[in-house]
């Protein structure tokens, strides 16, 4: 299947005007599959870490949202152990007017603003609520351990 | 014969007639003959022979003058008797033969040169014109007589030699009678007795003519004998003139006809009779037959009355026609009985002839009886008689029969000489057109000079006179007269070689559509003029026009050609005529409507020849209405002053299949038009019945075919009795000299096309129905299918044929636009409700952008939404190249705006809405996630700015049609108004109006937002996108849009109007003037400052034939028809001669619908047409049901 114009344009723009702290590079053999890295936002427990994600554009994109998953281990109430992300724009609030760029920005923002009230990793969320400081500390440690820049 | 059943040989003896009747008859005859001094009869049947009694003498050697006279019917002078006796060796029988065949005369000359004076004195001389200086006649048998029924006199050879007219008529060379053969017959006795007749005895045949119309019945009542009943009784008597019996009816039928019509005489001899005869006994006779000279004398025959002079055309046979047929049957029978075969005849006609002829005559008889019992169909109401299809007779022709007919008629010789048109003709002709001109001119001048050898008329047969009689005795030959000719189809006889000749100075120009029949005809008008017209054009002759007072008679119009054409073509004829003529060389007059006030007679008569219109163009309708006027005025043509008051130099019927129904009033009216040269133009001389051709031939007055009984006997009847080959062969012989037909696919010998036309491509555009349309379609489809299946189960398929057909029609309409299938009132109500809702939220089906912006800014509310709206709309208006947020296309494809003013490509937006609906989600805006009302999706329509656009819209203003069509139209007009929500009750909303917005001085493109799917359909949208693309690429290209539903055209109109596509419309409801105006403005070349309409909407029915639309290059077929031929004909309006560029045709077909299946049926039909043989009516219906089954599968 030929690559839709929209994907080509989005890719080109991601290359031409990259978002600071975010990179997304398509696989050569599958242009719908992107290797993504997101820098942890400053003044967040993930600061200093670089997180790897994978992003896949399904066939009916942009009618359906892209599929995004963290590859790097991360301690976050809205991201589970498999790297799956709980984010409304990736689910019910998806709109075809959103793009890869906007989605990744949303994820970056999610790192800066965890939302334990709408958890995906229940244990993490529990801890976040009970002892936020300890939770943030764990997140820092995980970042240092798993997301150190190579 | 109607009488045969009644007059069968009785089982018991019965008295048939009053004894003295024949005596009275003969008394009468005797008196007559007395007047002529000497009996001039030779017909035995009328013979009066009381004075002699030959019976006894028969047994003696030799015979007396009385004996001979008793048989030959005239006194023979003693000198003659002497000769005869000598020659016949005293045998009476031989003497009679010798006497009649005239062979003895030459011998008389040689042997007995002295008989002259005595014989001449006994004979009367009545010939006034006989020059007295004539040398003494050697021999004269008979006196001349004024009575045509009596034999004309015979001139002797010497008189011929001296006669002033160098070449004598062949009949004058012929002896009074000439033996042609003998045959045996059976007869039966009507009386009893002994020794009444015996072997070898002469018998005489008697006809009792002029039977009384009434007779006394058994109970003394007066019974009327039906006049139609033919008396066929042929009695015979012995030499004592005692009646012995009568011939069997089989024989009597035709023998009586031959006797009555004075074609032959018969000499009977008894072959066998019982010694003792009882009535009803069978008697065998041998009859020797001689042809009478009078039979070859054309005048002796009452030809069927010339029906065209009688004015009206009788469907029933007249008595004359009947006599003709009887004679024809009798002759054929006779030739069969005496076993005389033609020595030469047309190969084709011979093949099926003899049996077929008799059979044909029989069938004709039955046909007549059958039809006679049916009440005569009431005449159509006076005044209007469209060329209707009803009341047509004759079976339909099958396609393959038509094909083979045409194929034969199309053997066009490419080496035909060409003729150059006159200088005044302003166009150049192609070679085949110049050949047509040559052919037409030679037809009009009737040049027989062509090198062709005179060929025998195909319907005639040549017979050689027998040289030996039945007893193997030599018969006298007549010099230069070895043969005679018989037309077994008409019963005519001739001694002259019947040349195939045509007495009609015109013909049928049947070139296929698009080859330029009109041009060919115009070249003829220029190139062949009457002598009077030529004199006028000669400046040396000073013509002084003297205007006569209104003449009451029919005046000649020597300079005028009358063209009769369908109304829609009048304007075209005139403009072509003007285009083709050098300025001032041709005066044309369209005789229609108000133009009819002129008095044609004064305009066109010979005295005014210099100023007479050269071409008068009128319509069939005018011909008919004037015909009615003239016939109402008692047939006084001259004083009417109209079309019928003139005899034109030439008359041309265009699209002549308009008169294919010979009983239609239009056809009858056309027959009555008088002209020297008569032409018909038609691409289809035979539409579907052989009778179609008859009407043309009758109009052309081609003898003998214009005689209906002739036609019926040799074409209709054989055809209906399934003798196709013969009927078609005969038709071909009719057509061949009369028709010139070339087809577009003909190739010249060097393989080039006759008319190189630019290529034509047909593209099928498959349309996908919108969801809503699909739902309606599926519903209608299921209903139709259910009806069909129910009827299949109930076995009532044939009965409910029309119901099913109506439902199929609904389906087809549904493919065009679902609204077409719905009750118009309900539709209107729904639209009322919808527009009420629009008023509430300030939206409309079609909104002008500027107006919307104005409204938003005027609102001045702090509502961000409004400000945002204004901003977005402004962006749209400025044509800011926006990218589709969904597919990133830039600019968007068919920009579409939501109710919350967010835009995307139309397809993207609709896909997304569908996507959400499929997931059972409430559709929300892709951008602001506001709930979307799917009704409130608007397409952005940018109206191309064309110079002077808004002021000069050529399209019809709304409501104009309202007057023309009834209530339904009014509804639609109202509907149109609803589309532009002019709300009086809400003045603040007023600006939402599409058309009245003044153009911004900054000339900003006008943009409007149009609700998606509003009164549009997938097909209309597809058409619009084609048209818009065309307009972008080549703005001057003109397109023609055909639909078979005028109601669909009604829906296309507003869509074009909204998209600022100027269009014109042409359909059957328009007046002639309006049609002409439409065609002129459509054909007008683009001029600066004026927007010419580029689209012409045509109904397939009104516009499918005749028109010339070569100014267009694109054809859009909105809906398929059952046979592609009809569509092809419509396409050929554009793709015809004169077209200079490639023609692109788009056929819209809805995917997965009945239309696709129709295409398949079309293909199959094209395939079947060539290969299937004769199909019955029943078979055809079955086949059609098969089609329906397929359609609903």
SS3 assignment for B239-282: CCCCEEEEECHHHHHHHHHHHHCCCEEEEEEEEECCCEECCCCE
Contact B912 A93 (CB under 8 A): no
Question: How far off is chain B from A62, nearest CA to CA, in Å?
Answer: 7
What are the chain B neighbours of A63 within 8 Å (beta carbons)? Answer: 911-912, 915
pLDDT score of B924: 86
> Residue B653 above 70 pLDDT?
yes
> Which of the given ranges, A29-43, B979-993, B1089-1103, has the highest pLDDT on average?
A29-43
Higher per-residue confidence, B336 vs B63? B336
pLDDT score of A38: 92
pLDDT score of B490: 67
DSSP single-letter state for residue B167: S
pLDDT score of B1001: 41
| B405: number of Cβ within 10 Å | 20
Contact A63 B915 (CB under 8 A): yes
- The predicted model gives B495-515 an average pLDDT of 74
Contact A63 B911 (CB under 8 A): yes
Does residue B381 lie within any of the structural domains?
Answer: no
> Residue B192 above 70 pLDDT?
yes
- Those of residues 771-830 in B touching chain A at CB distance below 8 A are none
Q: Nearest-CA residue of chain B relative to A92?
A: B921
What are the chain B neighbours of A9 within 8 Å (beta carbons)? Answer: 888
- The predicted model gives B883-894 an average pLDDT of 82
Clarify whether residues B764 and B854 are in a common domain: no
pLDDT score of B922: 85
DSSP, residue by residue, A2-25: PPPHHHHHHHHHHHHSPPTTEEEE
Report the alpha-carbon distance of residue B1193 to residue B1186 in Å, rounded: 10
> Residue B1115 above 90 pLDDT?
yes
Please name the fold of domain A5-147.
Ubiquitin Conjugating Enzyme (3.10.110)
CA B932-B935-B941 angle, 5° bins: 105
> Residue B759 above 70 pLDDT?
yes
Q: Considering chain B, what is the average pLDDT of its residues? A: 69
Q: Which of B687, B720, B740 is the last residue of a domain?
A: B687
A114 is catalytic: no
- The predicted model gives B255-275 an average pLDDT of 84
Higher per-residue confidence, B789 vs B953? B789
Contact A63 B926 (CB under 8 A): no
Lowest mean pLDDT among B125-129, B296-300, B789-793, B800-804: B125-129
For residue B901, give the CATH number of its domain: 3.30.40.10
Contact A6 B887 (CB under 8 A): yes
pLDDT score of B441: 87
Q: Which of A53, A86, A90, A107 is catalytic?
A: A86
> Residue B842 above 50 pLDDT?
yes
Contact B887 A10 (CB under 8 A): no
- The predicted model gives B279-294 an average pLDDT of 85
Report the alpha-carbon distance of residue B288 to residue B266 in Å, rounded: 5
- Cα-flanking dihedrals φ and ψ of residue A34, to 5°? -115, 140
Clarify whether residues B859 and B800 are in a common domain: no
Does residue B485 lie within any of the structural domains?
Answer: no
pLDDT score of B537: 60
Does residue B47 lie within any of the structural domains?
Answer: no
- Cα-flanking dihedrals φ and ψ of residue B414, to 5°? -75, -5
3-state helix, strand, coil in chain B (%, to 5): 40, 15, 45
Coil, strand or helix at B1043: strand
Does residue B840 lie within any of the structural domains?
Answer: no
Quickly state the pLDDT bin for A57 (edges 50, 70, 90).
very high
Contact B885 A96 (CB under 8 A): yes
Closest CA to B722 of B355, B395, B490, B408: B395
* Non-local CB neighbours of B341 within 8 Å, separated by 6+ positions: B335, B463
Does residue B732 lie within any of the structural domains?
Answer: no
Clarify whether residues B826 and B853 are in a common domain: no
- The predicted model gives B190-208 an average pLDDT of 81
Q: Nearest-CA residue of chain A relative to B883?
A: A6
- Those of residues 919-948 in B touching chain A at CB distance below 8 A are 924-927, 929
Contact A62 B886 (CB under 8 A): yes
DSSP, residue by residue, B1094-1163: -EEEEEHHHHSSS---TT--EEEE-S--SSHHHHHHHHTTTSSTT--S-EEEEEEEETTSHHHHHHHHHH
What are the chain B neighbours of A60 within 8 Å (beta carbons)? Answer: 915
Q: Which residues pair with B183 in a beta bridge?
A: B287
Give the range of the structural domain holding residue B194, as residue numbers without chain letter. 174-211+229-297+318-340
DSSP single-letter state for residue A96: T
Q: Which of B895, B916, B942 is the last residue of a domain?
A: B942
Quickly state the pLDDT bin for B605 (edges 50, 70, 90).
confident
Question: How far off is chain B from A89, nearest CA to CA, in Å?
Answer: 11
What are the chain B neighbours of A58 within 8 Å (beta carbons)? Answer: none
Report the alpha-carbon distance of residue B138 to residue B130 in Å, rounded: 15
> Residue B37 above 60 pLDDT?
no
Tell how strand B193-194 and strand B243-247 pair up: unpaired
Clarify whether residues B886 and B818 are in a common domain: no
Q: Which residues pair with A54 in a beta bridge?
A: A35, A69
Among the partner-chain residues B888, B915, B926, the one whose CB lies closest to the CB of A9 is B888
Question: How far off is chain A from B885, nearest CA to CA, in Å?
Answer: 5
What confidence tens digit (pLDDT) does each residue in B1034-1061 have?
888 899 999 988 889 988 998 888 778 8
Contact A6 B886 (CB under 8 A): yes
What are the chain B neighbours of A62 within 8 Å (beta carbons)? Answer: 886-887
For chain B, give the percent of residues with pLDDT over 90: 4
Number of separate helices (H) and strands (E) present in chain A: 4, 4
pLDDT score of B18: 42
Contact A10 B889 (CB under 8 A): no
| A91: number of Cβ within 10 Å | 10
Place of tokens 């009795």: B721
What are the chain B neighbours of A10 within 8 Å (beta carbons)? Answer: 888
CA B1080-B1086-B1088 angle, 5° bins: 125
Higher per-residue confidence, B518 vs B544? B518
pLDDT score of B913: 86
pLDDT score of A122: 82
For residue B181, give the CATH number of its domain: 3.30.70.2330
What confidence tens digit (pLDDT) does each residue in B924-977 have?
888 888 888 777 788 777 765 543 334 333 333 333 333 333 333 333 333 333
> Which of the given ranges, B226-230, B293-297, B355-359, has the highest pLDDT on average?
B293-297
pLDDT score of B1081: 86
Contact A5 B912 (CB under 8 A): no
Number of domains in chain B: 4
Number of A/B CB contacts below 8 angstroms equals: 31
Q: Which residues pair with B204 in a beta bridge?
A: B237
- The predicted model gives A80-97 an average pLDDT of 89
Clarify whether residues B791 and B908 are in a common domain: no
Task: Write the secondary structure of A54-78 as one string of H (helix), E (strand) and C (coil).
Answer: EEECCCCCCCCCCEEEECCCCCECC
Place of tokens 């065949």: B101
Q: Which of B942, B974, B991 is the last residue of a domain?
A: B942
Question: How far off is chain B from A45, nearest CA to CA, in Å?
Answer: 32
What are the chain B neighbours of A96 within 8 Å (beta carbons)? Answer: 885-886, 908, 912, 926
B884, B888, B918: which to substitute to probe chain A, counting the most A Cβ within 10 Å?
A: B888
Contact A96 B926 (CB under 8 A): yes
Does residue B777 lie within any of the structural domains?
Answer: yes
Question: How far off is chain A from B839, nearest CA to CA, in Å?
Answer: 31
Question: How far off is chain A from B908, nearest CA to CA, in Å?
Answer: 9
Phi-psi region of B172 (alpha: psi -120 to 50; beta: other; left: phi over 0): alpha
For residue B1061, give the CATH number of its domain: 3.40.50.300
Question: How far off is chain B from A5, nearest CA to CA, in Å?
Answer: 7
pLDDT score of B651: 92
3-state helix, strand, coil in chain A (%, to 5): 35, 20, 45
Contacting B with CB below 8 Å, chain A residues are: 4-6, 9-10, 60, 62-64, 93, 95-97
pLDDT score of B838: 63
Higher per-residue confidence, B772 vs B95? B772
> Residue B103 above 70 pLDDT?
no
> Residue B578 has which token pair?
């003007």
- The predicted model gives B36-44 an average pLDDT of 39
Q: Nearest-CA residue of chain A relative to B913?
A: A63
pLDDT score of A104: 92
Report the alpha-carbon distance of residue B361 to residue B95 in Å, rounded: 38
Tell how strand B214-216 and strand B222-224 pair up: antiparallel
Q: Is the dihedral of CA B71, B77, B81, B87 positive or negative?
A: negative
Contact A5 B908 (CB under 8 A): no
Contact B885 A97 (CB under 8 A): yes
Clarify whether residues B920 and B1042 are in a common domain: no
Taking every pair of Cα atoms in chain B, the longest distance, rounded to a whole number of angstroms, is 147
pLDDT score of A103: 92
Does residue B1049 lie within any of the structural domains?
Answer: yes
- Those of residues 867-896 in B touching chain A at CB distance below 8 A are 885-889
A2, A3, A5, A6: which to substitute to probe chain B, counting the most B Cβ within 10 Å?
A: A6
Clarify whether residues B664 and B768 are in a common domain: no
Clarify whether residues B1023 and B1170 are in a common domain: yes
What are the chain A neighbours of B911 within 8 Å (beta carbons)? Answer: 63
Does residue B21 lie within any of the structural domains?
Answer: no
Q: Is B1083 exposed, middle or buried (0-12, 13-18, 19+ CB in 10 A)?
A: middle
Clarify whether residues B793 and B885 are in a common domain: no
* Non-local CB neighbours of B731 within 8 Å, separated by 6+ positions: B405, B690, B693, B715
Clarify whether residues B565 and B657 are in a common domain: yes
């Amino acid at each position: 299947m030929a690559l839709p114009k929209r994907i080509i344009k989005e890719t080109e723009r991601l290359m031409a005007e990259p978002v600071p702290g975010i990179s997304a590079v398509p696989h050569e053999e599958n242009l719908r599959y992107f290797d993504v890295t997101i820098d942890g936002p400053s003044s967040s427990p993930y600061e200093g870490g670089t997180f790897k994600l994978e992003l896949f554009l399904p066939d009916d994109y942009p009618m359906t949202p892209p599929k995004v998953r963290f590859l790097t281990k991360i301690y976050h109430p809205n991201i589970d152990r498999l790297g799956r992300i709980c984010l409304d724009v990736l689910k019910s609030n998806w709109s075809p007017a959103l793009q890869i760029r906007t989605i990744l920005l949303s994820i970056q923002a999610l790192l800066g603003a965890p939302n334990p009230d709408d958890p995906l990793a229940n244990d993490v969320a529990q801890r976040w609520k009970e002892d936020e400081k300890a939770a943030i500390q764990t997140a820092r440690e995980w970042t240092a351990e798993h997301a150190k820049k190579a | 014969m109607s009488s045969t059943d009644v007059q069968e040989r009785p089982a018991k003896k019965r008295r048939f007639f009053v004894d003295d009747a024949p005596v009275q008859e003969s008394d009468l005859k005797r008196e007559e003959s007395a007047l002529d001094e000497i009996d001039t009869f030779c017909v035995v049947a009328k013979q009066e022979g009381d004075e002699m009694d030959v019976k006894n003498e028969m047994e003696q050697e030799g015979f007396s003058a009385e004996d001979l006279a008793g048989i030959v019917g005239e006194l023979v002078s003693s000198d003659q008797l002497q000769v005869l006796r000598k020659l016949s060796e005293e045998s009476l029988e031989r003497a009679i033969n010798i006497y009649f065949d005239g062979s003895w005369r030459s011998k008389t000359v040689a042997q007995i040169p002295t008989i002259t004076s005595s014989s001449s004195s006994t004979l009367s001389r009545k010939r006034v014109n006989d020059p007295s200086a004539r040398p003494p006649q050697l021999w004269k048998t008979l006196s001349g007589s004024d009575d045509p029924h009596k034999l004309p006199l015979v001139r002797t050879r010497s008189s011929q030699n001296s006669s002033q007219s160098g070449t004598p008529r062949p009949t004058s060379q012929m002896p009074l009678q000439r033996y042609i053969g003998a045959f045996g017959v059976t007869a039966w006795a009507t009386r009893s007795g002994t020794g009444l007749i015996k072997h070898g005895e002469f018998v005489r045949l008697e006809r009792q003519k002029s039977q009384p119309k009434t007779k006394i019945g058994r109970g003394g009542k007066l019974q009327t004998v039906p006049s139609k009943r033919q008396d066929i009784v042929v009695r015979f008597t012995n030499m004592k003139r005692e009646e012995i019996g009568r011939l069997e009816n089989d024989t009597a039928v035709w023998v009586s006809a031959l006797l009555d019509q004075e074609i032959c005489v018969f000499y009977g001899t008894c072959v066998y009779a019982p010694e003792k005869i009882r009535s009803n006994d069978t008697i065998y006779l041998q009859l020797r037959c001689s042809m009478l000279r009078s039979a070859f004398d054309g005048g002796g025959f009452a030809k069927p009355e010339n029906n065209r002079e009688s004015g009206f055309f009788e469907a029933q046979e007249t008595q004359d026609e009947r006599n003709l047929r009887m004679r024809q049957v009798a002759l054929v029978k006779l030739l069969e009985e005496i076993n005389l075969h033609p020595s030469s005849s047309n190969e084709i006609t011979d093949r099926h002839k003899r049996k077929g002829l008799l059979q044909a005559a029989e069938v004709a008889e039955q046909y007549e009886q059958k039809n006679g019992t049916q009440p005569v169909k009431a005449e159509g109401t006076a005044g209007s008689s469209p060329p209707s299809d009803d009341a047509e007779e004759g079976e339909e022709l099958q396609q393959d029969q038509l094909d083979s007919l045409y194929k034969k008629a199309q053997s066009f010789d490419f080496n035909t000489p060409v003729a150059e048109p006159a200088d005044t003709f302003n166009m150049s002709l192609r070679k085949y057109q110049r050949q047509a001109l040559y052919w037409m001119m030679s037809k009009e001048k009737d040049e027989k000079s062509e090198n062709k050898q005179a060929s025998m008329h195909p319907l005639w047969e040549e017979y050689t006179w027998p040289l030996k009689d039945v007893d193997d005795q030599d018969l006298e030959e007549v010099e230069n007269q070895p043969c005679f000719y018989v037309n077994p189809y008409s019963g005519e006889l001739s001694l002259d070689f019947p040349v195939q000749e045509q007495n009609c100075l015109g013909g049928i120009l049947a070139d296929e559509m698009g080859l330029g029949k009109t041009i060919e005809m115009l070249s003829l008008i220029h190139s062949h003029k009457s002598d009077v017209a030529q004199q006028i054009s000669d400046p040396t002759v000073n013509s002084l026009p003297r205007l006569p007072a209104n003449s009451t008679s029919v005046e000649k119009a020597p300079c005028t050609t009358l063209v009769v054409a369908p109304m829609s073509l009048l304007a075209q004829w005139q403009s072509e005529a003007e285009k083709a003529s050098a300025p001032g060389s041709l005066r044309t007059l369209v005789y229609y409507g108000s133009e009819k006030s002129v008095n044609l007679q004064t305009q066109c008569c010979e005295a005014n020849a210099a100023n007479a219109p050269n071409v008068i163009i009128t319509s069939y309708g005018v011909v008919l209405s004037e015909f009615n006027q003239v016939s109402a005025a008692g047939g006084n043509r001259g004083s009417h002053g109209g079309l019928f008051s003139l005899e034109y130099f030439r008359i041309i019927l265009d699209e002549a299949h308009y008169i294919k129904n010979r009983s239609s009033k239009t056809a009858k009216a056309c027959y009555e038009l008088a002209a020297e040269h008569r032409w018909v133009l038609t691409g289809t001389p035979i539409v579907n019945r052989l009778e179609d051709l008859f009407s043309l031939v009758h109009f052309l007055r081609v003898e003998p075919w214009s005689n209906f009984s002739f036609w019926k006997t040799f074409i209709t009847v054989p055809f209906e009795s399934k003798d196709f080959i013969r009927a078609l062969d005969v038709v071909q012989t009719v057509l061949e000299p009369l028709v010139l037909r070339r087809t577009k696919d003909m190739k010249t010998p060097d393989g080039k096309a006759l008319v190189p036309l630019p290529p034509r491509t047909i593209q099928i555009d498959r349309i996908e129905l919108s969801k809503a349309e699909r739902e309606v379609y599926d519903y209608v489809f299921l209903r139709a299918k259910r009806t069909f299946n129910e009827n299949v189960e109930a076995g009532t398929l044939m009965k409910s044929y029309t119901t099913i057909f109506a439902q199929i029609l609904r389906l087809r309409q549904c493919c065009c636009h679902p609204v077409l299938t719905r009750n118009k009132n309900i539709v209107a109500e729904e639209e009322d409700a919808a527009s009420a809702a629009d008023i509430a939220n300030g939206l409309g089906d079609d909104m002008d952008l500027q107006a919307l912006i104005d409204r938003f800014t005027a609102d001045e509310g702090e509502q961000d939404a409004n400000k945002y709206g204004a901003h977005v709309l402004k962006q749209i208006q400025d044509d800011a190249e926006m990218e589709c947020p969904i597919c990133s296309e830039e600019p968007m494809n068919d920009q579409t705006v939501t109710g919350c003013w967010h835009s995307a490509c139309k397809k993207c937006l609709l896909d997304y809405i569908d996507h959400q609906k499929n997931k059972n989600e409430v559709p929300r805006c892709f951008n602001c996630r506001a709930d979307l009302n799917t009704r409130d999706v608007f397409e952005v329509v940018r109206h191309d700015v064309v110079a002077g656009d808004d002021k000069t819209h050529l399209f019809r203003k709304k409501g104009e049609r309202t007057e023309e069509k009834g209530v339904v139209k009014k509804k639609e007009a109202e509907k149109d108004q609803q589309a532009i929500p002019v709300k009086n009750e809400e003045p603040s909303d007023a600006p939402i109006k599409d058309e009245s917005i003044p153009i911004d001085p900054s000339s900003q493109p006008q943009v409007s937002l149009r609700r998606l799917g509003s009164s549009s359909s997938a097909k209309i949208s597809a058409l619009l996108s084609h048209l818009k693309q065309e307009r972008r690429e080549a703005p001057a290209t003109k397109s023609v849009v055909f639909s078979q539903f005028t109601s669909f055209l009604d829906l296309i109109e507003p869509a074009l109007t909204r998209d600022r596509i100027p269009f014109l419309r042409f359909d059957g409801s328009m007046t002639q003037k309006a049609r002409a105006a439409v065609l002129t403005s459509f054909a007008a070349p683009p001029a600066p400052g004026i927007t010419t309409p580029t689209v012409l909407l045509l109904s397939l029915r009104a516009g499918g034939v005749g028109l010339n639309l070569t100014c267009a290059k694109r054809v859009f077929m909105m809906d398929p028809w059952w046979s592609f031929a009809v569509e092809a004909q419509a396409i050929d309006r554009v793709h015809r001669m004169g077209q200079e560029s490639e023609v692109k045709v788009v056929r819209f077909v809805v995917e997965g619908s009945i239309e696709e299946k129709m295409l398949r049926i079309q293909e199959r039909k094209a395939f079947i047409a060539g290969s299937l043989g004769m199909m019955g009516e029943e078979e055809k219906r079955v086949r059609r049901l098969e089609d329906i089954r397929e359609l609903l599968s």
